[in-house]
Amino acid sequence: MEHQTTLILTLAGGLSAAMILGFITQKLRLSPLVGYLLAGILVGPYSPGFEADAATAAQCAEIGVILLMFGVGLHFHLKDLLAVGAIALGGAAVQISAATLASMVMLHYFFGFSLMSGAIFGMAISVASTVVLTRVLTDNHQLHTHTGHVALGWLVVEDIFTILLLVLLPAVLSPGGEFWSALGLTLLKLAGLTVFTLVVGQKLIPLFLGYVARTGTRDLFTLAVIALALGIAVAAAYVFDASMALGAFLAGMVVGQSEFSARAAAEALPLRDAFAVLFFVSVGMLFDPVALLTDWPLMLVTLFIILIIKPLGALAMTTLFRKPLRLGLAVSASLSQIGEFSFILAAMGISLGIFDARVNNAIIPAAMISITLNPMIFRRVEGLARWIEGRRKNDQPAEGTSTAAPDDGKPHVVVIGYGPVGRSCCSILRESGITPVVVEMNIDTVRKERGKGLPILHGDAGQAEVLREAGLERAEALLLTTPSIPASDVAAIARAVNPDIRILVHTSFVGEARKLRQEGVTAVFSGEREVALGMSEYLLRYLGAPEALVQTELERVRQKLD
């Protein structure tokens, strides 16, 4: 029976260890990713006690890579990349070149690596982790600033470069002297995959998701998103001989450019994060702590390149482009770590015989240390940058955010639901010079109103990522305009995104209104209460009651109902 429970034991053991060690590292104010890597060491073959199945963990890790790359594609907005295109392209090229050249020189002269091995090693450690970068930027409220856009654009360029490297590296090293034919065939298949996904998928994927969204069933939409990510990734590998990561990236990019981007990201987020944890666990399982006794010099050189060479390259490029010091230091700090793609490239290099397993014994601990130090470095650099810029005569203007909310300087309000109440609220807000940003689940309504110029977002208001995309962090208020929305849950999530937000709720029942007020909702408008007040006022006026009596009775009813 043991072989029948291999998957369950691997998931239970790996996730349990990751949860415990992730919780401990979080309490120690370290990145939970460090805990996940330590969990992999704990359940790996080099530690006593429980041993997870490496092959099963590797397959789960592959799913994690697919979902991670799908997530990268979801956030690949062409307009944002074009806005920072020059510095992202140039900066990534310089940073990759700096890490590659440094690795070639140091590894060749100090460790006897060939120049080709040193180049592949340098490319592997030149790419930062998407997970670490987004988490650091989010924790420091920089994700939707110009600094965040530059860092994310920079990372997207690095990811695209690495994806191409993953596809082309086997062709470059193909035996039998068939380099050009293998390279040409690979490029042809890559072009075919790109055209199929971006041209055919651009029409079919939103159409498919639109049909699923109209069912109003949340779990079906979640399954549709996951099926798209995995299905296109598998098709990329078995039909086009490309990497699953590339297929998932292209699928995510198509979905990310549709009206389903925010909802797809929110629905797929829990599953993506779970398998991403298993990816880091599987990487930790490869690490042999004993190997540090002999391979520590290579690890120190790797760490030097990650923490010194890469940030210097980034800072040089931001300075060359005359960017503010604060942006340059922040981008440099956020990219001074390595993650998922570094492990994938290192594993590919080992499988192709470019270098031996000691590379993993250097990259894995270097990754753990850089991931541990990265949040602390980022916080210190931001403080240093603010201190320096505060003493400059010509301060740069404050950086704005980029969300679904128009960046026109006007106050905006997030409106959940676009039914009769929502429409009326939006009309009144626009007449008053306030911009409404609508979150709506009905895809037909979203498409219709977006065509009229209304800022409207398709997604579930119960997802924090959707509320952030709607600009809740900068909004004046949040209006829940339909009683069908779980107001208590949405209010709690909204408070987590923006603790100071004013929350106005439309609910049907007086009893629920009292509960919501106790939970900290700013104002609740109950259908029962308003109908009772309206009917009472009409009847009193019809019967000819004096105005003073009408107002007294209405106030008495209000106090009783509240």
Which tokens sit at 253?
């990019």
Nearest to 465 by CA among 267, 274, 266: 266
Q: How far is the C-alpha of 112 from the C-alpha of 326, rounded, in Å? A: 39
Q: 13-22, 326-335, 526-535: which has the minimum mean pLDDT?
A: 526-535
**Mean pLDDT along residues 200-223:** 81
Report the pLDDT value the prediction gives residue 402, as an integer from 0 to 100: 45
DSSP assignments along 162-208, one per residue: HHHHHHHHHHHT-STT-HHHHHHHHHHHHHHHHHIIIIIHHHHHHHH
Determine contact, residues 361/291, Cβ cutoff 8 Å.
Answer: yes
**Mean pLDDT along residues 223-236:** 84
Query: What burial letters (b/e) apply to 103-136, b meaning 16+ CB within 10 Å?
Result: bbebbbeebebeeebbbbbbbbbbbbbbbbbbbb
Q: How far is the C-alpha of 199 from the C-alpha of 196, rounded, in Å? A: 6
Per residue in 385-440, pLDDT (tens digit) is 656 655 554 444 444 444 556 665 678 889 998 888 888 888 888 888 888 999 88
Higher pLDDT, 47 or 72: 47
Q: Which helix (H) or strand (E) holds 447?
A: helix 443-451
Q: How far is the C-alpha of 537 from the C-alpha of 556, rounded, in Å? A: 12
Q: Is the dihedral of CA 6, 7, 8, 11 positive or negative?
A: positive
Q: How far is the C-alpha of 545 from the C-alpha of 537, rounded, in Å? A: 10
Nearest to 276 by CA among 7, 72, 101, 544: 72
φ, ψ at 437 (rounded to 5°): -115, 115
**Which of the listed ranges 21-35, 99-113, 278-292 does the model predict with the highest average pLDDT?**
99-113
Residue 44, number of CB atoms within 10 A of its CB:
23
User: 1 pLDDT band (50/70/90 cuts)?
Assistant: very low
Residue 83 has pLDDT above 70, yes or no: no
Strand partners, 457: 439
Per residue in 142-201, pLDDT (tens digit) is 766 677 778 877 877 787 777 677 766 776 665 554 556 656 766 777 777 777 777 777
Higher pLDDT, 23 or 222: 23
Would you identify the CATH topology of the domain 2-389?
Na+/H+ antiporter like fold (1.20.1530)
Residue 48 has pLDDT above 60, yes or no: yes
Q: Give the distance from CA 498 to its chain's centroid.
A: 18
Higher pLDDT, 50 or 193: 50
Report the pLDDT value the prediction gives residue 534, as an integer from 0 to 100: 74
Q: How many residues does the chain have?
A: 562
Residue 305 has pLDDT above 90, yes or no: yes
Q: How far is the C-alpha of 96 from the C-alpha of 88, rounded, in Å? A: 12
Residue 505 has pLDDT above 80, yes or no: yes
| Angle subtended by helix axes 54-74 and 130-139, to nearest 10 | 60
Residue 222 has pLDDT above 60, yes or no: yes
Q: How far is the C-alpha of 463 from the C-alpha of 342, rounded, in Å? A: 31
Residue 16 has pLDDT above 70, yes or no: yes
**Mean pLDDT along residues 190-215:** 79
Report the pLDDT value the prediction gives residue 396, as an integer from 0 to 100: 44
Contacts of 365 (CB under 8 A, 6+ apart): 287, 292, 299
What proportion of the chain, given as a percentage, has pLDDT over 70?
A: 84
φ, ψ at 166 (rounded to 5°): -60, -35
**Mean pLDDT along residues 320-335:** 82
Nearest to 158 by CA among 365, 411, 400, 342: 342
Please tell me what DSSP assigns to residue 307.
Answer: I
User: 307 pLDDT band (50/70/90 cuts)?
Assistant: very high
**Mean pLDDT along residues 107-123:** 89
Q: How far is the C-alpha of 289 from the C-alpha of 57, rounded, in Å? A: 19
| Residue found by looking up tokens 């009772």 in the block | 532
- The upper half-sphere exposure of residue 7, i.e. CA atoms within 13 Å in the direction of its Cβ, equals 4
Nearest to 526 by CA among 487, 476, 475, 495: 487
Residue 513 has pLDDT above 60, yes or no: yes
What is the β-pairing status of strands 412-416 and 477-480? parallel
Strand partners, 456: 438
| Residue found by looking up tokens 């997030």 in the block | 414
What proportion of the chain, given as a percentage, has pLDDT over 90?
A: 7
**Mean pLDDT along residues 364-388:** 78
Q: Which helix (H) or strand (E) holds 54?
A: helix 54-74
Q: How far is the C-alpha of 249 from the C-alpha of 242, rounded, in Å? A: 12
Identify the CATH class of 412-561: alpha beta
Which tokens sit at 246?
């590339």
Mean of the per-residue pLDDT values of the chain: 79
Q: How far is the C-alpha of 83 from the C-alpha of 502, rounded, in Å? A: 33
Q: 9-23, 264-278, 302-316, 397-411: which has the minimum mean pLDDT?
A: 397-411
Report the pLDDT value the prediction gives residue 310, as an integer from 0 to 100: 92
**Mean pLDDT along residues 480-509:** 83
* Extended strands (E) in 445-491: 456-458, 477-480
User: 3 pLDDT band (50/70/90 cuts)?
Assistant: low
Q: How far is the C-alpha of 431 from the C-alpha of 170, rounded, in Å? A: 61
**Longest pairwise C-alpha distance within the chain:** 101
Nearest to 375 by CA among 333, 344, 415: 333
Task: Kindly list the domain boundaries of the chain, sorted by start residue.
Answer: 2-389, 412-561
- Distances in Å between the Cα of 219 and the Cα atoms of 213, 223, 225, 264, 292 are 10, 6, 10, 12, 46
Report the pLDDT value the prediction gives residue 385, as an integer from 0 to 100: 62
Strand partners, 413: 436, 477
